[in-house]
Chain A
């Protein structure tokens, strides 16, 4: 396991004059590489700006085989300077020398990254659509593809609303949404924000996820319309969830990685994230099947299930649904993610 070696640490401290000891030892013995790094500093010699520090840590990460060396460095430095990304830093912050406290904070965060900790856990937060959410290991970090899952649900709700309003100009009940496997609360909270009046029931089998979702709910002051339940849908019937139903939507980003693929995942994932949030069993379908089995008893007629899946799953799910006609569920549509991979399934409950 690679980490910040003492020699690297010494080299870093030497670049910061305020840390040079006022003792008999004089100007540090810099190697040609180090002195050129100092000379390339845009501010006065010894003073470091954001680009200098990004560049320094990028090199450290690269030397230690840390993936996304530049991006990681940029996110950490931007975070310490109060910005989301390096590109969004204003000109003033870009050219100002960093304070000792800021450099210290950057160093602390970078040391965590050197342990292959995902950037989202290093910073303790990450963004999902318009929300900034708290992140904490081992709760699953929302992936960017999942932003489109939320948009699909919002679109479908809007379409249904339009149809209903044109046919019956009468007040309709607010949509009830169940999220299975809420993790940090990304999907549930996004839906709450984007569909006014909606009611969300978020469940997760892990207490850590339930706690984190509740923290994020309170941070965003969205507690009125959402309830979080510590519950494992794999055990038993839907009876624990029935009091909140029937639902208009069931949404989930269930564990869908094929078990044989788990070992080849990046160290960032294997070392820090809850593997139960990823491992979908031999065919990646274990939790998908559980959700689809539960769905008919929880959904309203013409209610929908929206799932994020592995690109190999659409055909497999269609076959499975055909083999279980008693569920009265049909694969209505398959949607691609922003990389063009089949990623989202829209399954509908047939109305009797």
Chain B
């Protein structure tokens, strides 16, 4: 194949490839992702300052059985049992049908429990819970006050009519 025709062929090939991928064929900068299966620390609760759990302190159990696993098994028990060895706290998670998600959620819950265990009232988890309880009580009190005020107003109006 001569050089010019090879060049044309490559050009056609690249154009065809661009056509296959449609309008998204423009070269764009890739976003870098920092999450990986071993980076459990980055979770929903990054706003709270919690004790970090090291994987070496954790013991995980799955109901997967002793069999070969993988393709040879089709078990649906995705429950994850996670233990923090130093404190002895155990979390059982079967919130979702995905093992990976259950592992992640188990770690989040365990992290909160361990933080509470070691820090007690100093724990952000404890403080957040107290704050939300206080808010609830405030809301109830205000609702009660409103109700009383309306009742009082109603009574006043009825007296006026008489």
How many residue pairs bridge A and B at CB < 8 Å? 152
Q: Which of A67, A85, A224, A337 contacts B69 (CB 8 A)?
A: A337
Q: Which of B17, B36, B74, B95 contacts A268 (CB 8 A)?
A: B74
Asked if A82 is an interface residue, CB under 8 A from chain B, the answer is: no
A22 CB to closest chain B CB, in angstroms? 40
The reply to whether the CB of A114 lies closer than 8 angstroms to some CB of chain B is no
Mask: chain B, 28-67; 1 = CB below 8 Å from A; 0 = not: 1111111111000000000000000000000010101000
Name the interface residues of B93-118: CB closer than 8 Å to any CB of A.
93-101, 103
The minimal Cβ–Cβ distance linking B22 to chain A, given in whole angstroms, is 7
Q: Are A86 and B94 in contact (CB under 8 A)?
A: yes
Is residue B141 contacting chain A, with contact meaning CB distance below 8 A?
no
- Contacts of B76 on A, CB cut-off 8 Å? 68, 71-72, 75, 118-120
**CB proximity of A252 to chain B, nearest CB, Å:** 12
Contact with B along A140-174 (1 / 0, CB 8 A): 11011101100110110110011001000001111
**In this assembly, does A194 line the interface, its C-beta being within 8 Å of a C-beta of chain B?**
yes
Count chain A CB atoms within 10 A of each CB in B62, B73, B93 and give the residue with the most.
Answer: B73
Interface of A toward B, CB cutoff 8 Å: 67-68, 71-72, 75, 84-88, 118-120, 126-130, 140-141, 143-145, 147-148, 151-152, 154-155, 157-158, 161-162, 165, 171-175, 194-197, 199, 224-225, 227, 243-244, 253, 255-257, 261, 265-266, 268-269, 273, 277-278, 308, 310-311, 337-339, 341, 343
Cβ contacts under 8 Å, A244 to chain B: 17, 20
B72 CB-CB contact with A under 8 Å: yes
Q: Are B97 and A174 in contact (CB under 8 A)?
A: no
Contact in complex: B27, A171 (CB < 8 Å) = yes
B72 in contact with A145 (CB, 8 Å): no
The verdict on B77 contacting chain A, using a C-beta distance below 8 Å, is: yes
